[in-house]
Amino acid sequence: MWMIGDVTVTRIEEQLGFASLVPEQYLDGFEREILARHLDWLVPNHYSPEHDRLITSIHSWLIRTSRHTILLDSCAGNHKNRPGFPRLHRLETPFLARLRQAGVTPEQIDIVLCTHLHADHVGWNTMLRDGRWVPTFPNAKYLFSRIENVVGDPRHNPAADDDLLRGGAYRDSVLPVIEAGQAVLVDGNHGIDDSITIVPAPGHTQGHVAIWLAGAAGRALFCGDVLHHALQIHAPHWNSAFCALPELARATRRRLMEQCAEDHALLFPAHFGAPHVARIHAAGAVFSLQFVEPRTY
């Protein structure tokens, strides 16, 4: 648990393991010489030399303010049919048990916020009950980017069904929420309360968003898939293989990293290995990171 003033942030793990692709496929433009320069801190939590695979996490951030209990990104989910992605396919994980261990039941979540609508960020939006997909968090409002929803909805965008990360995930993990009347579509900057604001962060997907937490005790950025791996902080020109708008993704990544460095903000990414949270430092156009263990700030 990280505490920023009176806001607590807890990582709820779904899985931690090897990235789905080899480094050159996972990160577009990957350079072995950059990997070699950083092996001293990459091993063992972020890279396995034995397997030549990057290590990534799939987790949610549980954010508790004085007014709201928020689940940010909902991982891959159980029992979801994802044949193109073995890491996400037909899972059986104790995610909800881990949520309860953090002191929160599904009924106590009042906001679910998805940075974008890829399969590994929407899965626990729903669960299988009596053969139907129903919202996992019955009392929550689910906040989705309106642009993301338009792009992801295969009823209006037939191309979404051809995207293995989108089409099936929308049908089983987003549409049931909309049909249940629990979805709220947001545009532009959107304040949740005095301390949390959703901001556009396009590039990885057209409607990707990030979340800023700002208070008297400091600032934090929840960046979703603006960054996939900690090594990208040293190589922000690398995109993930899944970035839909490559040049915009690079520009957004650099802009948010510059803001983090300038504001001394904690960075809470969606996929970094342990200890999962970092501060970013900037020296001109060169960035570096300092990992941050759970504690009070």
Instruction: Retrieve residue 23's tokens.
Output: 């480094």
One-letter amino acid of 44: P
Per residue in 240-291, pLDDT (tens digit) is: 999 999 999 999 999 999 999 999 999 999 999 999 999 999 999 899 999 9
Average pLDDT on 72-100 reads 96
Per CATH, is 2-291 categorized as 3.40.630.30?
A: no
pLDDT at 39: 98
> Which comes out higher in pLDDT, residue 295 or 7?
7
pLDDT at 297: 56
**Buried b / exposed e along 232-268 (16+ C-beta atoms within 10 A):** bbebbebbbebbbbeebbbebbbebbebbbeeebbbb
pTM comes to 0.96
Asked if residue 163 has pLDDT above 90, the reply is no
pLDDT at 159: 85
pLDDT at 111: 98
Give dist(CA 188, CA 90) in Å, integer: 34
Domain edges within the chain: 2-291
Confidence of residue 156 (pLDDT cuts 50, 70, 90): confident
Average pLDDT on 166-185 reads 95
Question: What is the pairing mode between strands 111-113 and 69-72?
Answer: parallel
Per residue in 23-53, pLDDT (tens digit) is: 999 999 999 999 999 999 999 999 999 999 9
Give dist(CA 54, CA 46) in Å, integer: 6
pLDDT at 194: 87
Give dist(CA 279, CA 296) in Å, integer: 14
Asked if residue 190 has pLDDT above 80, the reply is yes
Asked if residue 133 has pLDDT above 60, the reply is yes
Average pLDDT on 6-34 reads 96
Average pLDDT on 142-170 reads 90
Percent of residues, the chain, with pLDDT higher than 90: 89
Give dist(CA 170, CA 125) in Å, integer: 10
Confidence of residue 167 (pLDDT cuts 50, 70, 90): confident
Average pLDDT on 177-185 reads 98
